[in-house]
């Protein structure tokens, strides 16, 4: 990795806070809010994602962001790349005809959806979110894109929590993470 990229990674890493026992005891929450309030750190995140995409996925058509923190980074990256941005939302949050997929959470089930006409068959997409933990949400988003017959080029996250092995659920997809814990 180039020296400039390394210093950007260090800047990003320095702007991630840890909160023990949040949202419940035993969880170490990784907070990205300091990245968002620091222009240099936010620019570094988008620079690093842009560098990754330009080096590895020149043919991408759309950036697809996951509800809700994928919405913070995805549009900025899409604008830089000169391509569109698509939302994957929690069930019931999008108007018009939608396609949905259900997936398991730690305690129960959830559903994600996308507007039926958001992605055309054959379009090449990259998914983006803030965090990869158990991989359930990103996996569901990939399945949703498959339902629309999109080609998933990969997934990108700011933070990967390696001990939760979310990467195992996404074995068939390339996953790019900026920071790993």
Question: At CA 117, angle to CA 112 and CA 121, rounded to 5?
Answer: 95
Question: At CA 75, angle to CA 45 and CA 23, rounded to 5?
Answer: 65
**How many domains does one find in the chain?**
1
pLDDT grade, residue 91 (50/70/90)? Answer: very high
pLDDT tens digits for range 15-55: 999 999 999 999 999 999 999 999 999 999 999 999 999 99
pLDDT tens digits for range 120-146: 999 999 999 999 999 999 999 999 999
Q: Which of 50, 51, 69, 111 is the catalytic position?
A: 69
Q: Which of 17, 80, 89, 106 is the catalytic position?
A: 106
Q: DSSP state, 58?
A: T
Tell me the C-alpha distance between 58 and 34, whole Å.
Answer: 30
The residue range of the domain holding 94 is 1-180
pLDDT for residue 1: 62
CATH code at position 50: 3.40.50.2020
Is 6 a known active-site residue?
no
- The single residue listed with the structure tokens 């018009």 is 96
């Amino acid at each position: 990795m180039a020296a400039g990229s390394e210093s950007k990674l260090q800047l990003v890493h320095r702007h991630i806070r840890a909160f023990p026992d949040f949202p419940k005891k035993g969880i170490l929450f990784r907070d990205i809010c300091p990245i968002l309030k620091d222009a240099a750190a936010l620019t570094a995140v988008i620079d690093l994602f842009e560098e990754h995409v330009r080096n590895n996925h020149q043919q991408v058509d759309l950036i697809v962001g996951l509800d809700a923190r994928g919405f913070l980074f995805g549009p900025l990256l899409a604008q830089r790349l000169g391509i569109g941005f698509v939302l994957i939302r929690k069930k019931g949050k999008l108007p018009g005809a939608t396609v949905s997929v259900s997936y398991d959470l730690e305690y129960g089930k959830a559903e994600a959806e996308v507007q039926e006409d958001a992605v055309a068959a054959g379009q090449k997409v990259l998914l983006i979110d803030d965090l990869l933990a158990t991989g359930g949400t990103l996996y569901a988003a990939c399945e949703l894109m498959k339902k629309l017959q999109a080609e998933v080029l990969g997934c990108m996250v700011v933070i990967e929590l390696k001990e939760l092995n979310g990467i195992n659920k996404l074995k068939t997809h390339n996953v790019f993470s900026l920071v790993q814990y």
